[in-house]
A = this chain, B = another copy of it.
């Protein structure tokens, strides 16, 4: 079966987020929001082939850990697993 999943990759707590700080500055300068505390991460959607939900999750875990994230600096969250 084919499973479609979404993955969010975010920086771990305590890791500096210059990209987020840059957006914060823009929001402050444009008067949109004073302290938005923006954090920037990555968002992936992908499809994996697996026999069942459990295998799909194992495969996704491997893909997230090995390819989509840097486990030293980032953590990932797998959500919305649906068959397609």
Contacts and interface: CB of A to CB of B under 8 A. Distances in A.
State the number of copies, please. 2
- Interface residues of A: mostly helix, strand, loop or mixed? mixed
A67 B23 contact: yes
Contacts of A43: 8-10, 40-43
29 contacts: A8-B43, A9-B43, A20-B44, A23-B46, A23-B67, A23-B68, A30-B67, A32-B66, A32-B67, A33-B46, A33-B47, A33-B48, A36-B46, A36-B47, A36-B48, A37-B46, A37-B47, A38-B44, A38-B46, A39-B44, A39-B45, A39-B46, A40-B42, A40-B43, A40-B44, A41-B43, A41-B45, A42-B42, A42-B43
Interface string A19-56: 01001001100101111111111111111110000000
Contacts of A62: 32
